[in-house]
Amino acid sequence: MEDEECFQPILSSQEEDNFQQLNTVSVASIPLLLGVSLGICGIVFVSIWPEEQSKCDTYFIYLYLHCAYWLIVMAIDHVVKARHHNLRINGYLDFYQSTYQLIRTPLFITSLWNTCYLLLAVILHHTHKVDYERYCRTSEWFTPLNYIFLLTTLELVIILPAYINYIKKVMRFNRLRPPPDVTRDEWLSPFTQDSYSGMGEIGYHQRGKNLEELLEKQADLIRYLRDHNVKLSHRIMLLASQRRATEP
Cα-based distances in Å from 206 to 114, 199, 201, 202: 47, 10, 12, 12
Cα-based distances in Å from 61 to 65, 91, 95, 131, 204: 6, 45, 39, 20, 59
Residues 6+ apart with CB under 8 A from 177: 19
Alpha-carbon torsion, ordered 209, 215, 218, 220, to 10 deg: -120
Q: What is the pLDDT of residue 96?
A: 82
**Quick one: DSSP state of residue 48?**
I
Chain-centre distance for alpha carbon 243: 41
Contact criterion met (CB below 8 Å) for 128 and 135: yes
Q: Rounded to the nearest 5°, which phi and psi values hold at 18?
A: -90, 140
Q: What is the pLDDT of residue 28?
A: 93
Alpha-carbon span 87 to 90, nearest angstrom: 5
Radius of gyration for the chain, computed over Cα atoms and rounded to the nearest angstrom: 26
Give the chain's residues under pLDDT 50. Answer: 1-16, 194-208
Q: What is the pLDDT of residue 35?
A: 95
* Residue 182 exposed, middle or buried by CB count within 10 Å (0-12, 13-18, 19+): buried
Cα-based distances in Å from 102 to 82, 106, 110, 160: 15, 8, 13, 11
Chain-centre distance for alpha carbon 117: 23
Q: What is the pLDDT of residue 127?
A: 80
